[in-house]
Amino acid sequence: MRAIAAIGAAAPALWLAARAGLGDLGPRPLTEAIHFCGLWALRLLALTLAVSPLAALMRWPRLIAVRRILGDAVFAYAALHIVLFTADKMFDLTVVAQEIVKRFYLSVGVIAFVLLVPLAATSTDAAVRRLGPHMWRRLHKLVYIVAALALVHFTLQVKLDISEPVAMAAIFFLLALLRAPRLRREPLTISFTIFATIIATFTAMLAEAGWFAAHGAPFFAALADNMDFSEGARPGWAPAVVGAVFVVLALFARLTDRVHLSKLAAKTSR
């Protein structure tokens, strides 16, 4: 499981290296690479936060083992994101600092990365033992602040197409909702997952329609566009897809458990 997670986390970086080697990064290769690494840092952060609710739904605690690998990958992509940005400024740290101070979205991104540093530094078993489980869990709640700041950074740097920021924000909102039962010390159920998915999906659709309305488009026309799939699905459907995957995997896990128990009962009765 850990090996699969590590290979999956490394795959985007290998794809980027292959594209760079083939000269397939466009007229501004560094800019393309910067955006690529930042986007994958955000995607892997979403995957990291998805591990706990998915493990709870599938009743498969061993899945938690991949969370640390994904978290370290988030830090690696974020670090590469910053290194490439610095390279784009010819490694002139004065220029880099001026850009960070001048551009708010860069300031937010740097804060998010700084908060990632202690999380990456304490991702080992030795760090858990040194800090103690309680303190370690409290420290790693910083990941939620990192997620919020990363979303703000991503959204602010987008100039025109807000599709991916809306989709990513909606997915993070769904993952936040799926943590609600745990806060009440209750198990995460399939029915609550479906409910949270519906809430996150409609919230995303309303938010996108509101953004378009603020820029002069008719609100209800923008909302109705979510039912038009002629040019693909709107970003508001992203949490619906994620929620559906969660539910299907949870049902599959339960079916597998029943089949296993049935076979065990049959062997016992012989």
Measured between alpha carbons, how far is 44 from 47 in angstroms, rounded to an integer? 5
From the first residue on, what is the mean pLDDT of each consecutive set of 10 residues in the chain (270 residues)?
Answer: 90 96 93 96 96 93 91 97 96 96 96 96 90 91 95 87 91 95 89 97 95 91 92 92 96 84 65
pLDDT recorded at residue 270: 60
Q: What is the 3-state secondary structure (H, E, C) of 69-82?
A: HHHHHHHHHHHHHH
Q: According to the model, what pLDDT value does residue 1 have?
A: 78
Phi, psi (5° rounding) for residue 230? Answer: -65, -30
pTM: 0.93
Q: Which positions ≥6 away from 121 have C-beta within 8 Å?
A: 127
Give, as one character, the DSSP assignment of residue 22.
T
The pLDDT, as a whole number, for residue 124 is 87
Please give the pLDDT value at position 194.
97
Q: How far apart are alpha carbons 230 and 224 in whole angstroms?
A: 13
Q: What is the pLDDT of residues 154-196, one digit of tens each?
A: 999 886 778 899 999 999 999 999 999 988 889 999 999 999 9
